[in-house]
Structures are given as structure tokens and as C-alpha cells.
Amino acid sequence: MKGVFPIDKFRNIETPFYYYDTSLLRKTLDKIKQETSLYSNYHVHYAVKANANNRILSIIRETGFGADCVSGGEIKAALEAGFPAHKIVFAGVGKADWEIKLGLESDIYCFNVESVPELDNIDALAASYGKTASIALRINPNIDAHTHHYITTGLSENKFGISLVHLDSVLDHLETLKNVRLIGLHFHIGSQITDMDSFKGLCIRINEIQEHLYQRMIIVDSINVGGGLGVNYEEPDKQSVPDFKSYFEVFHKHLKLRPKQEVHFELGRSVVCQCGSLITKVLYVKEGVNKKFVITDAGMTDLIRPALYQAYHKIENITSDQLPEEYDVVGPICESSDCFGKMVSLNKTQRGDLLAIRSAGAYGEIMASQYNCRKLPKAYYQDKI
Ligand SMILES: *Cc1c(COP(=O)(O)O)cnc(C)c1O
């Protein structure tokens, strides 16, 4: 046993695999529960897209959170894991008819709507069921979350959401539709946000929008502020549970609510990221011209974030106690971008060593692919290994 990893047990498991520290997940969930319980009107919907592993979903569901889904498949995964339909919200810029029908048949809590044609389609499908669909408008608040451009979503010319410029005409149009009911406003400004000022900016913008709606005599039931709270990828052990206290406090301090209004949060990464690691075996240590390469049996098919977003993950050799040396850590896939880290300091590494690629619980296993005809990685759990 080194650090948090049961290495003896790992030796008997086929690599690569995901390892989830379920006690850390529970600790994280308890912290969120504790912080949100300070505010009677705060509700959390876990963003299923970060990790839809059934066991992880079940543990999250046990805490009483709802689910934020972005596809029909995610709605099915959430229902299968026991999330009640009335705690499921459905977002996404391109909802297919079968997905909307699934939401209507299941009587989910709310559709987060991103465009007028989508609104018309939900209205028509709801009419065919003789139902009224509850909807929230996803509004693009034009807030720069100062994060990677691929994961910034709140700027005005962006495929997500309805631009503020169009808000009035969308509200006018809504009044003509009979089978949808506006119950909320939805926002999501991006991901991996660690600067609380971005969320403060969002609150201020929401207050302006609420002021505007009030003039039209509209008060919605819920304000959904999305997700986006970041985690510490550099030092996962220093901050294994994200700073939920400051996060929820920002909204408490800056968001102006009408009486009885609820605030909904859609946290994904911050819930599951630190509890997961990708465990991989070193196949070879290869001498380059000026550097050494550690070649692992895990590749971008198991964890694509470094290749896709140039994301940093801390890498540790969990089976060597020797002095550190510098290596480029690369996978076996036939793509140059299949690299987990450059100039990584690892305890002297040799063939057969096990590496832990940390903070891989979010957007890790769920993004795995079978490119190169590879197997999907399996998952193991700290309380059941
Ligand atoms: C991705 C996403 C989330 C979750 O984002 P995190 O950064 O993982 O917290 C929440 N809401 C919406 C609409 C999303 O698209």
C-alpha cells in the first residue's frame, strides 16, 4: 500500500483500469450536502456527462441529488441508477425527437431549451402526448469564464444557449405556445473555473435579467446556474475536496432571488474528478536522443483529456521509491497527440512499474473509445476491490 493505492491488489488486475476512491467521493458529496443545507432553496443536479459509471451514479443518487442530462442515453443511465424522473433536467443544443419523447414519457422535471426551433419542437411533441412540458430557457449571459476556449460556453457567439439580444422575442414567442411552461432560467458559463469572480459576474448578469423579466411580470420558479467549479489538477492531494464553501457563498452573496425561488446547480467535474485515477503499466522505457520516454499501456483511448484539451494530469509512479528523473509519458496509440505529459518528474521508472494518472474521475472513463480496436478500460472501487 503506497499512499492511497492498494498496490498488491492492483498487481492482479489487468491494466489499464480506472480506480475510484469511493470514500473520497462520499466525503465530497457530504461536503456539498453540508454546504447546500445552509440554504434551504439550493438544489444540486449532478452533471451525468462527467462520469456515468453506474456505481458512481448510484452513490451520488444516494445523497439525494438530482441529475443533469445532455442526451437520451444519459436520461436512461440516470433512471437506471435510480434518480427519480422529477429530479432530472435535460439540456443540450441538439435534442433529437426520441430524446425529447423519452423526457416527456418519463415526466422529467425540466427541459433546458437552447433555441426557438427546439422550443417549437418540444411544444409540438408535448401536444402529441397531451402534456405540458416544463422548460427553462438557457441564456447565454456573455460572461468570459477565462478558461480553455474549448470549454468556455458563456460568450455571446457560441453554439450554446439563447443570446440576450433575442430574449424578448423568444419570450413573445413563448406566449403563443400552449404545451410548454416556462419554469426557469438556465446558465452555464464554462468548466474548470477556479476564479470565483466569474461566478460573481454571472450572478450580477442574472440579477439584471431577472429585473428585465420582472418588468414583463415574469417570475420563474428556478434559477439554474449550471456547473463549472474547477478542481486542483496540479496538487490533487492538497485539495482533494474542492472549495464548495466559497462557491456556494458567492451565489448566496450576489444572487438576488425573488421569494420562493430555487437555485439549481449542475456540478460535474468538482463532484467526481479527484476520486478517480487511471492506473497503467509501463510497457517500455525508451531512450530518445535528448530525453527518455515512458511508454504506458494506457493511451488517449482511455483518457483523452491531455490529447483533446492539452489538459494537465499529475502522474505518479506508485511502485518505485527511487530518485526522480524526467520522462515524457506517452501511450501506444498511433497518434502523436497520444501523450500524457512532457518532462514529467517520476521516481526512476522501469518496465512493469504502475503509474497513477490522477484527477481522472471526470471526463475520463466516459470519454474512452475503442480506436485502434482497443478494449474499454474497466473500473474498480476502493470499497470493493
Ligand atoms: C458540462 C455541463 C455541466 C457540468 O460542468 P462541470 O464543469 O463538469 O461542472 C453543467 N451544465 C451543463 C449545461 C453542462 O453542459
On whether 335 is known to bind a ligand per the annotation, the reply is yes
One domain for residues 137 and 31: yes
Contact residues for 214 (Cβ-Cβ < 8 A; gap 6+): 258
Do 72 and 162 fall into the same domain? yes
For residue 149, what pLDDT is reported? 56
- Of the residues 272, 291, 326, the one at which a domain ends: 272
Q: Which of 211, 239, 272 is the last residue of a domain?
A: 272
Beta bridge partner(s), residue 223: 185, 263
Q: How many independent structural domains does the chain possess?
A: 2
What is residue 155's predicted lDDT score, i.e. its pLDDT? 58
- Report CA-CA distances (Å) from 35 to 38, 63, 242, 246, 324: 6, 13, 12, 9, 40
CB 139 less than 6 A from any atom of ligand 1: no
Report yes or no: 136 and 188 within 8 Å, Cβ to Cβ: no
Domain with residue 188: its CATH number is 3.20.20.10
Q: What share of the chain is helix, strand, coil (3-state, %, to 5)?
A: 35, 25, 45
| 130 class by beta-carbon count within 10 Å (0-12 exposed, 13-18 middle, 19+ buried) | exposed
Q: Is 91 in the pocket of ligand 1 (CB under 6 A)?
A: yes
Give residue-wise pLDDT tens across range 238-256: 999 999 999 999 999 999 9
- For the chain, give the mean pLDDT: 95
Nearby residues of 384 by Cβ (< 8 Å), 6 or more positions away: 22
> Per-residue pLDDT tens for 212-226?
999 999 999 999 999
Of 239, 272, 305, the residue at which a domain comes to its end is 272
**Could you list the residue range(s) of the whole structural domain that residue 220 is in?**
22-272
User: Do 258 and 325 belong to one domain?
Assistant: no
Residue 313 has φ and ψ, to the nearest 5°, of -130, 135
- Among 151, 266, 273, 359, the mutation site with the greatest number of ligand 1 atoms within 8 A of its Cβ is 266
pTM of the predicted model as reported, rounded to 2 decimal places: 0.95
Residue 1: pLDDT over 50: no
**Same domain, yes or no, for 126 and 63?**
yes
For residue 317, is it within any domain? yes
Residue bearing the CA closest to ligand 1, atom 3? 227
> Ligand 1 centroid vs 112 CA: distance in angstroms?
13
Ligand 1 atom closest to residue 193's alpha carbon, by position in its atom list: 7
Each residue of 312-323: pLDDT tens digit?
999 999 999 999
pLDDT of residue 51: 98
Q: For every residue of 257-272, which 3-state class applies, written as one string?
A: CCCCCEEEECCCHHHH
89 contacts 109 by C-beta, under 8 angstroms: yes
Centre of ligand 1 from the C-alpha of residue 50, in Å: 8
Residue 1 lies in a domain: no
Instruction: Say if residue 133's pLDDT is above 90.
Output: yes
348 is a domain residue: yes
pLDDT (average), residues 145-173: 76
385 — pLDDT class (breaks 50, 70, 90): confident
Q: What is the pLDDT of residue 89?
A: 98
Note the pLDDT tens digit of each residue in 29-71. 999 999 999 999 999 999 999 999 999 999 999 999 999 999 9
Average pLDDT over residues 161-183: 95
What is the average per-residue pLDDT within 112-123? 97
Same domain, 124 and 267: yes
Q: Mean of the pLDDT values across residues 128-133?
A: 98
Q: Quick one: which H or E segment has residue 38?
A: none
